[in-house]
Structure 1
Amino acid sequence: MEILSFLSDSFWDLFLVIMGFLAMVLGIDTYKKEKKLQEIGIKTIAKVIDFSDEETSDGVKVTVPVFEFNDSSNNKVRVKGVSNSMCKINETTVVYYDPKNPETEFYFAKKDFLVKYLFFFVGLFFLILGFVYLYNHFMAFNSK
């Protein structure tokens, strides 16, 4: 019974720990995927050719750049960037892509850099905060 009382009092602390851990894992996973594409992928230059208005799941419209590059077989490949990519028409950037699936497996080295760090450090913050609160609740629980 005491453990259930402690767990119910510490629900939000545990929630912070779990969410922080998951955000860190997502950041690390994103970093690993990008690093793998840099190691095994083909490096080329992509050019911004257009912008596309996309609707997010919550109904907000965002503008994303559309990039075009030639793959190793000299086929033109068009891919959409991310909404935080600041670009202009005809701007070029380095892209790494998987030759087996260039339409979905690509990484813009100079355009998609914030996501992995954002998830990792926000996750680390929540993880530490959750452990601090959990420790405080544990000390208060043991002093009863």
Structure 2
Amino acid sequence: MFEGVLVHLDPLLSTIGYARLERPVAAVERTIKGFIFDCRMCGHCVLSSTGMSCPMNCPKNIRNGPCGGVRADGGCEVLPDMRCVWVDAWEGSQRMRGGEAIRDVQVSIDNRLQGRSSWLREVRGKAHQRRKMQEVVT
């Protein structure tokens, strides 16, 4: 829903300028997602594909499933007192509609986007797709 609202606001966001909006939107995104999801602001958010568990919390920064060193109790190989991010991701995905998205292979992140808003990046991309679809229809 939130994303849909932002996509509809694309004409306004484009008028203001995505570059101008980057800093304030990233600050809001960092605060909200950091508090709720312990987000690391990698710029390539995949929370909806990983059961709302940020894979960047993995000490090895593995984005496509557990490393193979998950302990029998679900603990992390590197930080045994920490639960494996991917155990949480799998359990979370099983409770979500579209939970099979956890099986999708995630591309490597572009470190230049670290700290940038993934919300704006997604909105801009979806608005562009929407315009392309409208061009095809007309």
Fold conserved between structures, TM > 0.5: no
Structure number with larger C-alpha Rg: 1
Structure with the higher helix share, 1 or 2: 2
Alignment TM-score, normalising by the size of structure 1: 0.28
Structure with the higher strand share, 1 or 2: 1
